């Protein structure tokens, strides 16, 4: 295995590990998005965990580590549309505090948009998403 630096992610083994880790995060999102839409509601596990996974993917991939995988930008945009439709349908029933709905919506949109933009940059640079 090759090593190109002294950093924690500067070797083929680390790149393989990171690839497996990001693939697991992506796989969880894929399963959640393909599953029962109720599980994506604002008060359900995947309604919280999906955005967490997306933000973790963005944090990792924005460091430009070798091996960090991302889904295609178009996939992320599709997830955003589906996720936000469920979120919009479920949030009012939770009677959020004044301002929370608008603030949370902005965070969710930014989470999807930031990851889609990063994936798009990779695609434009000829790198696999």
Q: How far apart are CA 39 and CA 80, in angstroms?
A: 15
Alpha helices in 4-91 (DSSP H): 12-34, 45-61, 73-91
Decide if 5 is inside a domain: no
* Residue 94 near residue 42 (C-beta atoms within 8 A): yes
Q: What is the total count of domains within the chain?
A: 1
Decide if 41 is inside a domain: yes
Decide if 3 is inside a domain: no
Q: What domain range is 87 assigned to?
A: 12-124
pLDDT, residue 58, reads 98
* Residue 116 near residue 60 (C-beta atoms within 8 A): no
Decide if 129 is inside a domain: no
Decide if 2 is inside a domain: no
Q: How far apart are CA 127 and CA 29, in angstroms?
A: 22
pTM score, two decimals?
A: 0.93
Question: pLDDT tens digits, residue range 34-68?
Answer: 999 999 999 999 999 999 999 999 999 999 999 99
Decide if 38 is inside a domain: yes
**H or E, element range at 24:** helix 12-34
Decide if 117 is inside a domain: yes
């Amino acid at each position: 295995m090759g090593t190109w630096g002294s950093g924690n992610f500067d070797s083929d083994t680390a790149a393989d590990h990171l690839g497996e880790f990001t693939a697991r995060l992506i796989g969880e999102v894929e399963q959640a998005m393909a599953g029962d839409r109720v599980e994506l509601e604002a008060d359900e596990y995947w309604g919280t965990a999906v955005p967490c996974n997306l933000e973790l993917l963005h944090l990792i991939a924005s460091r430009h580590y070798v091996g960090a995988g991302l889904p295609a930008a178009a996939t992320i945009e599709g997830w955003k549309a589906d996720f936000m439709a469920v979120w919009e349908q479920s949030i009012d029933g939770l009677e959020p505090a004044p301002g929370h709905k608008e603030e949370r919506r902005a965070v969710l949109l930014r989470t999807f948009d930031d990851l889609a933009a990063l994936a798009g940059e990779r695609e434009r640079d000829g790198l696999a998403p």
